Structure 1
Amino acid sequence: MALINIYTDHKKRIDTAVLLLLAIGLIGYINNFFLIWLVLGAVYLVSFYEANQLFGVQDNSLYAYAALLWIAAVFYPYGDDLFVIAMVVGASLVAYKPSMHWKSFLPFIYPTAGMLFLLTLYKDYDITAIIWLIAVVAGADIGAYVFG
């Protein structure tokens, strides 16, 4: 009886979680580099938007730079090097153009490093490494929630 109440009280969340798990499972089962790149790119752009909101950055031209960076990630095999190169270019632009505010640099730090890491992890170790990463993070998150 209590499980039915939990489901009816949180129906929208549970249905969304099940659909997301099915979508992730399907993408993992297909295991195609360009599909993974496309999905991670979409997640990257959404997280870039959220980072802009978080840091209070209003410059819409940054989305084009973020998209170019993600496109470069397809061709450049080392995501960590690409991140460092992007940070050096960004810091140079902030230093060279006094009109550019340093806060415009922040959205490139927060989501970019993690997303490039995930893409590099997939390139180097295949989908099983990402599955293990998701399992470990989910297990730690659930453990922290349940046990405090």
Structure 2
Amino acid sequence: MPYRWTPPAPDGQTKLTLWPHNSLPPKGLAAFVLATFVMLLVPLSAVLGTVLLWGLLPFLLLALFGMWYALEKNGRDRQILEVLTLDPTEAHLVRRDPRGPERHWNSNTYWVSVSLHENGGPVPFYVTLKGSGREVEIGAFLSEDERKALYADLSQRIRQLARP
């Protein structure tokens, strides 16, 4: 599950950290690009020593570079981190995107409500927090099942903190 709760501190404060699932780590990316390069060399061996090699080589290298660039960009775009800090008096959400400023949201924990929007959001089973006159998304990058589990877990934690 790409989210983790810290154990509650003596003062009741707990943190929820969420991040997108990253199925291709940097070593996996390097291995995939290398394997693709080796596979591209196999058909080139038939035209080795001919003028045709120089006609095909730039296109194959361009395809390899394009694949590497797209995978690298996808990895950079998935460097999202959301941290929700909950204590008996305040809820504070911080979202760090790969580009752009951090976004913050605060509310009194007692007034925070967690909503699960089955339809109508950017993704199915969209989870939001509402409080202090604002409604903010949380965990939109998670899978559908993970968002459902997050909703149940988050609802229970906020109920326990705000209404002892």
Shared fold per TM-score greater than 0.5:
no
Q: Which has the higher contact order (CA 8 A, sep 6+)?
A: 1
Q: Which has the larger radius of gyration?
A: 2
Choose between structure 1 and 2: higher strand proportion.
2
Choose between structure 1 and 2: higher helix proportion.
1
TM (norm. structure 2) is 0.29
